[in-house]
Amino acid sequence: MPTSEIIAPALPRNCTFAESDWRALAPFWYPIAFSREVTDKPFATKLLDERLVVFRANGKLTVARDLCLHRGAPLSSGWVEGGEIVCGYHGFRYNSEGQCVCIPAHPGAAIPPKLKVQIFPVQERYGLIWTRLVDNGPSPFPEFNSWDDANYLQVLPDSVELNASAGRQIEGFLDVSHFAFVHVGTFGELDNREVPSYPVELTPGGFRADYISTVSNYSTAFKHLNPPGFKWRRLFETWLPFTAKLTVFFPNDGQLHILNAASPVSARQTRVFVPICRNFDKDAPLQPTLDFNHQVFAEDKAIVEQQFPEDLPINLQDEVHIRADKSSITYRQGLAKLGLGRTFTA
């Protein structure tokens, strides 16, 4: 097909992203729900301002545009029956390919093939449902193999809802110079602020930063467990645009893996999913881990919701950078290569 005939998908109505940003972001995979949220009851959600409905019909997982083509009712207010989703307004039924297969008011009438709602690719991984709005070929999928490893304990905390952009959130997750300020209530150490230099290298999906310091990952009440002189290694791996994984190397070969998958609901609304795995304390009660994680993310939320401009500046001239910001400089450069930020937003 000549390229002039390829029609770019229309942007969602009331899209909060600049058009070039939306087109750059739409082909990537994002989590849109917990697996546990999606049953045979339609589940409504939103990604990049696109309203989506997610449901399981006869065991098949489907992500569709949450819009009945008849009179604009959301399919998520309908129900699932016989492997099909039924609109609650006039009962149109759509199969898992999105094709309308029944118009109850005219049972014998032919149904035009174009009466078809848009269906999106779907993957269920790490306790989450993932989708992408534009399928333009292979796209790197974030790796979190310990989720399926019996040597690890898997924990799925509640998601974190932010009135902030996904770019600002991820950059905060990669930031190593804020521990002694923002996280003194959890694991930060007031008297341990200096950031040693660290290497950053590019990877197929983004980059990795290997940060070694003496800031222990123990919470304030357990700092005494820190073996004197122990070097704490924190390995950050990113999959652009909005997913990062942190591996914290504990004493005695302990490893803690945290996936930070930020789902851009809109340009300034983000739902962060944080599956966690660890190969130690596997029989310990989970609540302290959930509480600790919740508090760390609450500390970050207080900052990220105040940052201005709300959008992450992609042009490096627009904010000041220090040596400790090597990760975030690389991050902004990576986003620029994706085509983001032509209009100062991400």
Among 63, 88, 172, 126, smallest CA distance to 275 is for 126
Cβ closest to ligand FES, residue 73 vs residue 119: 73
Give the C-alpha separation, 89 to 97, whole Å: 21
Give the C-alpha separation, 267 to 332, whole Å: 16
Is 171 a binding residue for Fe ion by CB under 5 A? The answer is no
Binds 90: which of Fe ion, ligand FES, none (CB < 5-8 Å by kind): ligand FES
Binds 179: which of ligand FES, Fe ion, none (CB < 5-8 Å by kind): none
Give the C-alpha separation, 101 to 93, whole Å: 6
Query: Which of positions 178-217 make contact with Fe ion (CB under 5 A)?
Result: none
Contact criterion met (CB below 8 Å) for 262 and 269: no
Among 285, 280, 291, 287, smallest CA distance to 257 is for 280
User: Nearest approach, Cβ of 299 to Fe ion (angstroms)?
Assistant: 6
Contact criterion met (CB below 8 Å) for 104 and 90: yes
Q: Which residues bind ligand FES (CB under 6 A)?
A: 68, 70-71, 73, 87, 89-92
User: Nearest approach, Cβ of 101 to ligand FES (angstroms)?
Assistant: 13
Binds 41: which of Fe ion, ligand FES, none (CB < 5-8 Å by kind): none
Cβ closest to ligand FES, residue 72 vs residue 227: 72
Cβ closest to Fe ion, residue 35 vs residue 213: 213
User: Nearest approach, Cβ of 81 to ligand FES (angstroms)?
Assistant: 14
Cβ closest to ligand FES, residue 71 vs residue 114: 71
Binds 68: which of Fe ion, ligand FES, none (CB < 5-8 Å by kind): ligand FES
Cβ closest to Fe ion, residue 279 vs residue 307: 307
Length of the chain (residues): 346
User: Nearest approach, Cβ of 135 to Fe ion (angstroms)?
Assistant: 34
User: Nearest approach, Cβ of 212 to Fe ion (angstroms)?
Assistant: 18
Binds 156: which of Fe ion, ligand FES, none (CB < 5-8 Å by kind): none
- Amino acid 305 reads E
180: tokens are 């002694």
According to DSSP, the β-strands at 128-131 and 30-34 are: antiparallel
- 3-state DSSP percent of the chain in helix, strand and coil, to 5: 25, 30, 50
Cβ closest to ligand FES, residue 1 vs residue 105: 105
| Secondary structure of residue 67 in the 3-state scheme | coil
Is 300 a binding residue for Fe ion by CB under 5 A? The answer is yes
CB-based contacts of 32: which residues, under 8 Å, 6+ apart?
45, 47, 52, 54, 63, 129, 130, 131, 263
User: Nearest approach, Cβ of 96 to ligand FES (angstroms)?
Assistant: 17
CB count within 10 Å of CB 97 equals: 11
Binds 300: which of ligand FES, Fe ion, none (CB < 5-8 Å by kind): Fe ion
N-to-C CA span, the chain = 32
Among 112, 90, 110, smallest CA distance to 99 is for 112
Query: Contact region for Fe ion (CB under 5 A) — 114-122, 142-150, 207-215, 299-307?
Result: 299-307
Cβ closest to ligand FES, residue 79 vs residue 89: 89
Cβ closest to ligand FES, residue 73 vs residue 155: 73
Residues that bind Fe ion (CB under 5 A): 300
